[in-house]
Structure 1
Amino acid sequence: MSIVIRTYRNEDILQMNRVWNEVVEEGVAFPQTEILDKTGGEIFFASQTYCGVAEDTESGEIVGLYILHPNNVGRCGHISNASYAVSSSSRGKGIGEMLVKDCLVQAKNHGFKVLQFNAVVKTNTAARHLYEKLGFVQLGTIPQGFLMKNGSYEDICPYYHMI
């Protein structure tokens, strides 16, 4: 597997939807509950400040992606937010780290000063370990801030990184 992180293209949408929807359907990391169809994916990804994809250059398969956008508006518009998705068959291979590092570069390129994650699920230990390894700072814990797919509630941990 040879991975390159690049800007998404329209022809990537169906594969991006597949990766995104897999995480949504797992119901343990993303707040979204609606899956993306072709049109929904086109609109959703085009509405972001930037979308990066992890492409396996040997197969042409999109194995991961991220979205980057403002976390707020106006006087807080310099703070960005991002979400990351890696296909279940490609996890544990360093792709998430590649996506986060690229996202930090793109956030700076787009004029953001801070990257903030509002709702990292406490039980998402792989993501939390990665963010802390890359210098993100946990802001605290919000008790029962995330509704898991099974109907239980889990704590969320906001993080930030100065860019």
Structure 2
Amino acid sequence: MLIRDATAEDWAAVFPFFSAIVADGETYVYPDGLSSDEARALWHDGSHVVVAEVDGRVVGSAKAGPNRPGRGAHVATASFMVDPAARGAGVGRALGEHVLRWAAEQGFRAMQFNAVVESNTGAVHLWRSLGFRIVGTVPEAFDSRRHGLVGLHVMHRPLP
């Protein structure tokens, strides 16, 4: 698996799985029905964006940057999308490890995820296995298409 900086040309491969993940209604708070340009503006928002490739095919993407501006800019945050056809192949773990290394190299002191859907047990398990801990849960903050109102975990991990 190759993880590299995203290029403008990669969006054509990312948008289909971005749209499918948002439409599924289980992991992201993005609104349904985003156009390609609207989705690109959300994903390529000035953050550091990478893609994961397997055999020349883009199978995932991540974006990372400061969690907050100014006095909060020493804590990083990140978001991840993996093509549903590539789930279970270690793409999310590889992207997570890559982003954690990148954030440490950039001098961030910690990484914080602000909204990990509690019913997304695969993601919760992955982030815990990479050293994150749940520091709080906002009850009923996410309207899951399948589970109804569920909590959003705030997860945190110090960086070396």
The normalised TM-score by structure 2 is 0.90
Which residue of structure 2 aligns with residue 23 of structure 1? 21
After superposition, where does 1:99-118 map in structure 2 within 5 Å? 99-118=95-114
Q: Could you list the runs of 5+ residues in structure 2 that have no partner in the other structure?
A: none
> What's the CA shift for 1:101?
0.3
Q: Which residue of 1 aligns with 2:6?
A: 8
Greater shift in the superposed pair: 63-72 or 34-43: 34-43
Structure 1 partner of 2:57: 61
Q: Is the 8 A contact 1:27 1:33 kept in 2?
A: no
Q: 1:72-127: per-residue Cα shift (whole Å, max 9, x none)?
A: 11111111111111111100111100000001011123332111011111111111
Q: How does 1:40-51 map to 2 (within 5 A)?
A: 40-51=38-49
Moved more, 118-127 or 33-42: 33-42
Q: CA deviation at 1:150?
A: 5.2
Task: Find the residue that maps to 1:18 and give its secondary structure.
Answer: helix
Query: What's the RMSD between the two structures over aligned residues?
Result: 1.7
1:119 touches 1:158 (CA, 8 Å); kept in 2? yes
CA spacing shift, 1:74–1:148, aligned 2, 3 Å: same
- Separation of aligned partners in 2, 1:136 and 1:40: 31
Aligned length: 159
SS in 1 for 2:10: helix
Task: Give the Cα–Cα distance (whole angstroms) in 1 for the partners of residues 61 and 34 of structure 2.
Answer: 14
Cα distance change, pair 76–44 in 1 and its aligned pair in 2 (3 A): same
- CA distance in 2 between counterparts of 1:45 and 1:122 reads 22
Percent of counterpart pairs with the same letter? Answer: 30
**Residues 1:134 and 2:130 are matched in the alignment:** yes
Q: What SS class does the counterpart of residue 71 from structure 2 fall into? A: helix
DSSP 3-state at the match of 1:117:
strand
Shift of 1:40: 3.2
Q: 1:93 to 1:120 in 2, by over 3 A?
A: same
User: Could you list the runs of 5+ residues in structure 1 that have no partner in the other structure?
Assistant: none
SS at match of 1:130: helix
Question: Alpha-carbon deviation of 1:21?
Answer: 1.5
Deviates more, 1:143-152 or 1:105-114: 143-152
Is structure 2 residue 143 aligned with structure 1 residue 147?
Answer: yes
From 95, 98, 105, give the equivalent of 2:94: 98
Amino acid at match of 2:104: K
Alignment TM-score, normalising by the size of structure 1 = 0.89
